[in-house]
Amino acid sequence: MRSGFARTTAPRKVYFGFMALTPFHLALQVRDIAEARAFYKGIIGCGEGRSAEHWVDFDLYGHQLVCHLNPALGRDGRLAAHLNPVDGDSVPVPHCGVVLEMREWEALAERLRRHGVQFLIEPHVRFAGEPGEQATMFLFDPSGNALEFKSFRDIARQLFATA
């Protein structure tokens, strides 16, 4: 870890097979870099990595999330999302996020509530009693990027369960 960088999220565990999961890299467009820092670092709790005038890296639970400035969005612009029905909810597409251990998911939900974040889909359990039962919550970042954070009681058994 380089000087000045403090990890605030836990490294991921290995769940599948013998090969370790490697971090994903995801780049999102944002309307304002300072606003993205305030949200991802200040509210979500991400560590900050490298940055330049038009982009910034965040450590999102051990994964690399990069926010790139899109001046075309304008000061008040927001990305659009299509809503798709899933288990009685209108889920935004596209969206991205992280599968967390239940205690991490609960802590994040509480943190978001303390910061007054408005949820598109409030934290709750969906697919109750089914193999894919999961805790989930959806929200938008200030630029309109849709985020989902979810959890399972037993990630290794439930993440891809069909029966």
pTM for this one?
Answer: 0.87
Asked if residue 13 is part of any domain, the answer here is no
Q: How many domains are there within the chain?
A: 1
Asked if residue 7 is part of any domain, the answer here is no
Asked if residue 19 is part of any domain, the answer here is no
pLDDT, tens digit (0-9, with 9 covering 90-100), for 31-42: 999 999 999 999
Asked if residue 122 is part of any domain, the answer here is yes
Which range marks the domain in which residue 34 is found? 25-158
CATH number for the domain harbouring residue 96: 3.10.180.10
Cβ-based neighbour number of residue 138 at 10 Å: 21
pLDDT, tens digit (0-9, with 9 covering 90-100), for 107-117: 999 999 999 99
Q: Do residues 28 and 44 lie in contact, with contact meaning Cβ atoms separated by under 8 Å?
A: no
pLDDT, tens digit (0-9, with 9 covering 90-100), for 22-62: 899 999 999 999 999 999 999 999 999 999 999 999 999 99
Asked if residue 6 is part of any domain, the answer here is no
Asked if residue 17 is part of any domain, the answer here is no
DSSP-assigned states of every residue in 41-57:
IIII--EEEEEETTEEE
Asked if residue 90 is part of any domain, the answer here is yes
Asked if residue 163 is part of any domain, the answer here is no
Can you give the length of the chain in residues? 163
Kindly give, in sequence order, each residue whose CB lies less than 8 Å from that of residue 144, ignoring residues fewer than 6 positions away. 77, 78, 79, 80, 81
